[in-house]
Chains A and B, each alone.
Chain A
C-alpha cells in the first residue's frame, strides 16, 4: 500500500474539479484524481452552451435568468443559490473567454448567444409580468461548448502546474471520528473527511491519500439507466462514497431525461437543434409541442418535452422502429444549410454516423434519454458537504458539479445551467477549500483506512460466484428504465425496492474473469456496478416517498404538484434496512411558487 499526503484532493477532472483546482493557491499541495485521462471527462460531451445573461444578442438580465431557473426547477431550487449562480454567470463566462475558451462570436466580436429551452424574457421589458418569449442566453462554441470548456480548463491547469493522478480509480472516502488538531471547526460536528482510497488502474495497487480537504466532482450516474446520454464512466461513484459513509443524498428522485437522445443509442442531440429552429413531429406530422407548451413550444423545459414525447408514443402517435421500440422525429430539414453546418455540425454528424440519417434531408429519430442528476450530495453554496436538515457541515468534505446538489436545479435543470453550475460552484468550492486549508491542520488518519476497499477487491477477485457484471448491470438498467423512468407509480416503485435489495444480494456473488493486476478493467467494472446499485437505491426511495409530481419526478398516482406537503428537499440515508428519509426546507426569496405553464 502506498501513502500520499496532500492539502487538497479533488476527485474528478471534469469542469467542476478542474475549475476548483485553479483556486488552490501556491504553497499548498493539490492533486486531481481521475479514473480517465482528464480530457476524457464527460463535461466534454456538453454541446449547446453555457447560460449567462450577457445580453450580447438581445436585452437580458440575471433576474430573468434567475426567474427562469426557479420556474424551471418547479420551485424546488434554492433561490439563494440560484441568485448566486445567475448573477455570477456573467463574470464566470467572461472569465472563460479570458482563459482562452474559443467562443462563436457576434458580428461585433462579442460572445455569441442562442435560444435554449426554458430561457425567456418578458416580451415587454418594462413589464415583468408580460408574456415570456424565448431569449438568446446560451453562450456557445458551435455545438462543442463542453468540449472546448473542458479543454480550456485543463489547459489552464497545465499552465498552473496542477498535479494529476490520471487513471486512478477512487474507491472510498476516509472518514474519521477524531477531532481536528485545531478543534474550532470540528467541535461537536462528528465525522470529518481526512482523505480517500484509490486504485492505480495500471497496476491495481491500492493507494491511501491523506488530506485536509477532499472535493467530490465525480459527475453523474446516467449508467443506471439503459438509455442514457452519459459516458460509460458515469457510474455514480461519488454518490456511493457519500451514501456508504452514512451521509445523506438529496432529491435523488429527480432524474432528468433529455427529450432528444438518438433513438436506441441515447446519444445526446442538443437542445441547440431546437434553439436554432428544429421542431418535434409525431407520426401524423403534427408539431405536437404546440399543444403542451403553447408559448415556447419546442423550447419548453426538458421534463415537459420528455413527458410530451412519451405521451404521444403512449397514445399511438409515435413511430415504431425496426426493433419494436418507439420514437418521434426531430426535424431540422427546413433550416438553412449554413445553420446546420456552422452551428450544429457535431450533432448532425451523429445522426449520419450512427443512424445513417441525413439531417438536411430527413428528420432524426429521437427518444428521451437519461441525462442528468438534479439531486446529489447536499452542499452549501460554497461546496461544503452537509449532513442533515440543519445544514450541519462535514469538515473537510466538499462536492461540486453534477455530483452535488446545492440545489440550483431543483426538480428540473434548464439546458445550459449545468456548464454554468460547474464553473460557478467549482470555483466557489475551490475558494472555500483554499480558505479552509490555511487554518486547518491534518487530522489523524485511521489505521484501517483502506480496509473496506481491500476487502471488496479481495472478495471480487477470489469469488467463484455465478453472477456476472455485464448481465447484472443490464438487469439493473432495464428495471430502472421500466419502473423508475419518466412516469412512475407506487406499484412499480415498491417492486423496485425489493428488486434493488435482491440485486444487491446477488452483487455479493459477482465473479470476474480477470485475475491480473495490469489494467484490470474487469475488476473496475465490478466495483462500478456496486456504485450503480448503491446510487439506484436512494433514487428509488426518493421517488417512492415523494407523493406528488414536480419537475422531472412524475407520479401517475399523484399527478399534481403539492406545495403544501412537498415543497421540501428529501434527504435519504443508508441503513441496514430500508433507507431513512428526512426533509430539508427550500430557500424561497424572490419568487413565490406559481403554477408552471409555458
Chain B
C-alpha cells in the first residue's frame, strides 16, 4: 500500500521560513514505524532530511516529533496508530526553535531540567552497604524515573506555549523524582525552585502532557503531589 508523508522542512541556510514537502512511498504493512518510513525517505529519496534518532524503540528519547498534530516518538508510533489514509503530517515539536527540518533546539529544555537539581543530595555519609528503602517507597519513584527527556510533554503544554519561561512538566516530574525519594535531603531546595511565578503554579492541569507522554507517565498526578507538598509546607 502507498502512504504519503507531509513533512515540514526548513533549512536555515536556504529557507526564509518552513514549508511542507510530500513524499509518497510503498510500505509492506501498517506495522511499520514512522521512524522506518522517515529513514526510507532519507535513504532513498532525499538525504538532506534531518531528524534525530538513536535507539529506535522508545528508550532514548531522541525522536520526539509532532505526528498529525500529536507529540510522539517516531520510533514508537506505527502506521496503524495514525490515520494513514490521508497524508501523515510530520512536524518538529512545537514551541522550540527549529534548527533544521525536525531538529529543534533543546537547550532551554535541558536548562530547566538542570534547574531542579536533578541529582540525589544526601546529608548523611552513606552506610557501608546500600541504604535501605522499602519496595513501596522505591516504586513511588519508578514512574517518574521512566522519563526519557524527549520533551513531548513540555512542548505539548499550552502554558509552555504562552509563557516561554514556564519550567514545564518534564522538569517538574524530575523535581518529584528526587523530592519524593526517601534517601534525598534537598527536597526544600527543589521546592524553592518550582514555587515561583514561572514554576509549578503555571500548571493548570490541562493534561496535555499526560496525553503526550510516550512512556505513559501520569505527569499531572506527579505535579499534583508536588503541589500538595508545597501546600503542606506553606501550612
Contacts and interface: CB of A to CB of B under 8 A. Distances in A.
Contacts of B103: 519
Contacts of B134: 105, 109
Contact of A355 (B13, B31, B52, B141): B31
Given A45-B60, A100-B119, A144-B145, A519 B50 contact: yes
A100 B55 contact: no
B132 A108 contact: yes
A354 B47 contact: no
B78 A521 contact: no
A356 B59 CA distance: 18
Interface string B120-137: 111000101111111101
Consensus secondary structure, chain B interface: loop
B48 A513 contact: yes
B142 interface: yes
Contacts of A155: 118-120
B190 interface: no
Interface string B176-200: 0010010110000000000000000
A102 B146 CA distance: 11
A521 B54 contact: no
A193 interface: no
A181 interface: no
A522 B145 contact: no
Given A42-B55, A231-B54, A102 B141 contact: yes
Contacts of A231: 54-56, 60
Interface residues of B, number: 63
Nearest to B132: A109
A521 B120 contact: no
Contact of A100 (B28, B54, B183): B183
Given A470-B42, A518-B11, A39 B54 contact: no
Contacts of B137: 105
Most buried by A among B57, B62, B142: B57
A269 B24 CA distance: 33
A517 interface: yes
Nearest to B80: A356
Interface string B95-137: 0000111010010001000100011111000101111111101
Nearest to B45: A513
A37 B62 CA distance: 8
A462 interface: no
Contacts of B43: 468-471
B22 interface: no
Contacts of A108: 132
Interface string A95-111: 00111101111111111
A34 to B, nearest CB: 11
Contacts of B145: 102, 141, 144, 147-148, 151
B135 A105 contact: yes
A75 B131 CA distance: 36
Interface string A212-231: 00000000000000000001
A232 B54 contact: yes
B210 to A, nearest CB: 17
Contacts of B101: 519
Name the residue in A45, A342, A468 with the highest tally of chain B Cβ atoms < 10 Å from its Cβ.
Answer: A45
Contacts of B14: 516
B48 A40 contact: no
B100 A39 contact: no
B76 interface: yes
Interface string A340-366: 001000100010011110000000000
Nearest to A47: B59
B135 A107 contact: yes
A471 B45 CA distance: 12
B13 A518 contact: yes
Given A513-B48, A516-B13, 10 more contacts: A36-B60, A40-B54, A45-B60, A97-B131, A103-B138, A152-B120, A155-B118, A158-B114, A468-B43, A518-B12
27 contacts: A36-B52, A36-B60, A39-B61, A40-B55, A40-B60, A40-B61, A44-B60, A45-B57, A45-B59, A94-B128, A94-B129, A98-B126, A98-B130, A99-B120, A103-B138, A109-B132, A109-B134, A141-B142, A144-B59, A147-B145, A155-B119, A267-B57, A353-B58, A469-B43, A513-B46, A516-B11, A519-B100
